[in-house]
Structure 1
Amino acid sequence: MTSPTKSSPTTPTTPTTPATPTKTSLTWARRRRTVARFWKEYRRHRAGLYGLFGLALIGLLALAAPLVVGADVQSVTNAPGTALESPSAAFPLGTDQFGRSLLGLLIWGARISLLVGLTAAALSVAIGTLVGIVAGHYGGWFSTVVMRITDWFLVMPALVLAIVLATVMSRSMWTVILAIGVTSWPTTARLVRAQTIAVESRPYIERARALGGGHGHVMTRHVLPNVMPLVLAQTTLGISTAILTEATLAFLGLGDPTVVSWGGMLQDAREAGAVSSGHWWYLAPPGIAIALVALAFTLCGRAIESVLNPRLGVGR
């Protein structure tokens, strides 16, 4: 006779409580929503999308230049063609006075032109943001003195100051970046100062000060995040100006002679007499490339301005 089996007692299951979101996860979730909302608004600007697509294409070509054309394209001694050949199947954009492919030089030169433009614009905006926040935060006589110095830089032609700096310093790519960066910051400084004054008039800034927030806390934790949209828009607009200034300095013979850039190609074309001899294929490609990149950055900057400040009413 079999004995009855005993049923094992069931252990009560405790309901699982959902994990409490941490401060970091909430911050990143808010940032993801902000980026998604920004991209949704940006996509409504057709011109901005065209500019972004053009910049992405040119940026990919610049990054892939060592794989697409190779570093030998800059070599003068191992040039594959003859001097100043017109466009053909072998050389779609012709050759320069050394027999180098202009298409390869154009792709390789995009690396230097974009690097100088991005770095110089970042340096300029960084200086302008620092000066603008500090002047707007402290105010008083300090702000007056800083703004008078800014006005002096503002009324002086930035190109002339850049030429002076590039002349007295050694000819290198970093000299060009420094010359552009330290002469084009006043506009950003004035805009950021005005935005800083507007931000610091808000009630939560007074509460932060009442709770013991010092100058550094107020400027970095409250003012800087609120002026960053303006800084972002100013950066995109400043890159095109920096690229044009770099091309101008290189065209005047003040660029780095050891690297290939679009402005340097124009200067080489001038020295080779491309204007008087009618070699249009030497002048047109770098000039068109500079114009297209400047236009693309301007379109992106205008679109970003419209998204961050819809009252501007920039055409979509």
Structure 2
Amino acid sequence: MTTASPTIRSPRALAWHRRGTAFVDFCREFAQHRAGMVGLVFLVIVALVAIFAPVIAPASMLDVTKLVDVQRFAPPSWEHPLGTDHQGREIWVRMVWGARVSLLVGLAATAMSMIIGTLVGIAAGHFTGFFGGLMMRIIDFFLVLPSLILAIVLSSVLSRGVWTIIIAIGLTSWAGTARVVRAQTLSVESRDYIERSRALGAGHWHIIMKHLLPGVLPLVLANTTLTVGSAIISESTLAFLGLGDTTLQSWGSILKNAMDVSAATSGYWWYVLVPGIAIVLVVLSFTLMGRAVENITNPTLRSR
């Protein structure tokens, strides 16, 4: 009678197996956070609405030439669920299309900010001497600069557009992430296995990719969900100031149009309240998700 030999896995296969197991455990723990799940479900609904915007609200509904007989500044009713704007366009239609730009800017700008902040933070924490000090001085320089003012300057200098706002927000909001990543990098650097890797001849690239980057990724992930909300607020602020693309719908541009017609002081409360509540709810949802991820990935918070 022959016995089957045990399956021998390669180190790479074992590493992927551990990662898969860790991901399953993370999803299981995240599902137990009610606040985080509420935020996730709401964001999934908003994302689906943004993706299927052409189906839910065809672009022709925004054509002002076809809205001659529609009442302007119509209050919310069965005929106009969220009211109409100063050109007779349905507010809910503008909100559906505006979700596309707001989420795109929030996610893309956050991705750019996280990549820059992670690379600079790891470099500042790993390298010593002149280069490490230079990286830290660059981080301090961007920390003391008002990010919103710098984003306004970049948006006014560059051509107006969605990608201009993404670049402006991404290039001005990475310093906080870099400082947090640097602190985590210094903590990982002090562990024994880093010293053993150096003693065995590991170079900077190996240490950064194999040890430091996996060590800071949970913190970066938690910080990402919190930064998306700030990016959406920044996009709304820039659009509110008239620095966005006027040909595209966004929640910030809706607030800008409401300010131009003095909606708040003229009694057209729905024109201001609807996009304002939407921005608050989306930012709150990302914050709830961020807190849940932080509780899972941070051993100190998880043990409480």
Q: Shared fold by TM > 0.5?
A: yes
State which drifts further: 306-315 or 162-171: 306-315
Identity %: 52
Q: Which amino acid aligns with 1:126?
A: I
Deviation string 1:75-97 (CA, Å, 9 cap, x unpaired) is: 22223723211112222001111
Alignment of 1:79-228 (within 5 A): 79=67, 81-228=70-217
Determine the C-alpha separation between the residues in 1 that align with 2:161 and 2:91.
23
1:251 maps to which of 229, 240, 251: 240
Please, which of 59, 74, 77 is the counterpart of residue 62 of structure 2?
A: 74
Structure 1 position 72, deviation (Å): 2.0
- Name the CA distance, whole Å, in 2 between partners of 1:224 and 1:22: 22
Bigger share in helix = 2
Q: Is the 8 A contact 1:303 1:314 kept in 2?
A: no
Is residue 70–residue 88 contact of structure 2 (8 Å, CA) maintained in 1? yes
Which is worse superposed, 25-34 or 180-189?
Answer: 25-34
Q: Does 1:43 align with 2:31?
A: yes
2: CA distance between counterparts of 1:221 and 1:310?
Answer: 21
The answer to whether the Cα contact below 8 Å between 1:81 and 1:101 also exists between their aligned partners in 2 is no
Structure index of larger Rg: 1
Show CA shifts across 1:183-223 (max 9, x none): 11111111111111111121211222222221111111211
- Could you state the TM-score of these two structures normalised by the residue count of structure 2? 0.94
Q: Hey, what's the Cα distance between the residues in 1 that align with 2:71 and 2:136?
A: 56
Alpha-carbon contact 2:105-2:162 (below 8 Å) kept: yes
Q: Secondary structure at the match of 2:202?
A: coil
1:232 Cα deviation from its structure 2 partner:
0.4
Number of residues paired by the alignment?
303
Contact 2:123 2:135 (8 Å CA) reproduced: no
AA matched with 2:266 = S
Match in the other structure for 1:65: 53
Distance 1:220 1:28, change over 3 A: closer
Q: Report the Cα offset of residue 111 of structure 1.
A: 0.8
TM-score for the superposition, normalised by structure 1: 0.91
Query: Could you tell me how far 1:16 is from its partner in structure 2?
Result: 4.4
Residue in structure 2 matched with residue 4 of structure 1 by the alignment: none
Q: RMSD value over aligned CA atoms?
A: 1.8
The answer on 1:273 being equivalent to 2:283 is no
Residue 28 of structure 1 corresponds to 16
Q: Which moved more, 1:72-81 or 1:229-238?
A: 72-81
TM superposition shift of 1:69: 0.9
In 2 relative to 1, CA 314–112 (structure 1 residues): closer, same or farther, beyond 3 Å?
farther
Q: Which moved more, 1:229-238 or 1:58-67?
A: 58-67
Q: Which consecutive aligned stretches of 4+ in structure 1 deviate over 6 angstroms post-superposition?
A: none
